[in-house]
Amino acid sequence: MSYLLRRLIALPLVLWAAVSLVFFSIHLIPGDPVDMVLGETARPADREALRARWGLDRSVPEQYARYLTGLVRGQLGESYSFRRPVSDLVAERYPATLLLAGSAMAVALLLAIPLGALAALRRNRPIDRASMLVALLGVSVPNFWLGILLMLVFSLWLDWLPVSGFDGPASVVLPAVTLGASLAGILTRMTRSSLLDELGHDYVRTARAKGLGTRATLFKHALRNALIPVVTLVGLQFGALLAGAIITEKVFGWPGIGALLISGVQARDYPVVQGCIAVIVTSYVLVNLVTDLLYSAIHPRVRLGESA
């Protein structure tokens, strides 16, 4: 209970540090939001009126204090470009990002755990080398290049799947594979390494000495213990998927929070950028908290206070 309390107390501190860094960083980016909306040929009176409406006529510390006050109240501000509350924009886009991240994680797990387990059982054999080569390619190939290649093959040449956008379940396949490929490579190597370590322990040798088969030893004993570091990595990477989906969403025209964030940066839409980052950081911290809670469920000997 005390561990949960500490993590919940740390959540607003982490969020404050992140949004503060983003707030001051975005104000250093060249460009004026007023010019992006009205254009450089707008009348000075119109420019000043819009600047006053958005509070940009105030000093940066005053804008910062105003932003934090709104954030405490649960208000993310109003978008300069869309002329709508940022909370509404995020609420519309966030489910699409969660769907993409969850699908990418499912693809990664379905590929990584079987490949990693098979590579560990067939260590230094051709199947092991082939699995590690696939994992290396998954980590090395850039998302944007893989996404374009998949679009070219499966959308333009074969006409099996939609090119971009979100129009039914088929639209999720290509962006999910693109986003999950690099994660699958990382998880495959982690699963193999962790399982090899477990297979060398005394309890595995004892189980085999008692006549337990290789598969039974693997699935009933070794794999469960080997999944502890894998679950840690999954929790960390799922939070990273929410942020890493930005490029993939842009390539596939996916209507998620990543595409909204890029639009905000391009338009110097401060509230949109700050709101998207705040949601991503909050999600990242909460996912890691849930990951820590899963430790004790997977392995009863792991205690939350020790895993922190």
* Mean pLDDT of the residues in the chain: 80
pLDDT of residue 88: 92
Can you tell me the distance from the alpha carbon of 80 to that of 183, in angstroms, rounded to the nearest whole number?
35
Q: What is the DSSP string of 222-285?
A: IHHHHHHHHHHHHHHHHHHHHHHHHHHHHHHT--SHHHHHHHHHHTT-HHHHHHHHHHHHHHHH
* Burial (Cβ within 10 Å: 0-12, 13-18, ≥19) of residue 196: middle
Average pLDDT over residues 269-290: 84
Helix, strand, or coil (residue 78): strand
Bridge partners of residue 78, in order along the sequence:
85
Domains defined along the chain, listed by start: 86-307 (1.10.3720.10)
pLDDT of residue 307: 43
Q: H helices within the chain, ranges in order?
A: 2-26, 33-38, 44-54, 60-72, 86-121, 126-140, 143-150, 170-199, 202-209, 214-217, 223-252, 257-266, 270-298, 304-307
Total Cβ atoms within 10 A of residue 214: 13
pTM of the model: 0.80
Give Cα 88 distance to the centre of its chain: 21
pLDDT of residue 216: 64
pLDDT tens for 69-126 read: 888 888 888 888 888 899 999 999 989 888 988 899 899 889 888 888 888 778 888 8
Tell me what percent of the residues of the chain surpass a pLDDT of 90. 4
Average pLDDT over residues 142-153: 87
pLDDT of residue 4: 66
pLDDT of residue 308: 40
Can you tell me the distance from the alpha carbon of 216 to that of 214, in angstroms, rounded to the nearest whole number?
6
Can you tell me the distance from the alpha carbon of 68 to that of 274, in angstroms, rounded to the nearest whole number?
11
Burial 267-305 (b: 16+ CB within 10 A, else e): bbbbbbbbbbbbbbbbbbbebbbebbebbeeeeeeeebe
Tell me what percent of the residues of the chain surpass a pLDDT of 70. 85
Highest averaged pLDDT of the listed ranges 22-31, 83-92, 189-198? 83-92
**Intra-chain end-to-end CA distance of the chain, in Å:** 13
**Residue in this structure with the two tokens 């894998």, named with its chain if needed:** 230
pLDDT tens for 204-246 read: 667 666 666 666 666 666 777 777 777 777 877 777 777 667 7
Average pLDDT over residues 1-6: 66
Q: Which two structure tokens, joined as six digits, stand for 173? A: 């396949």
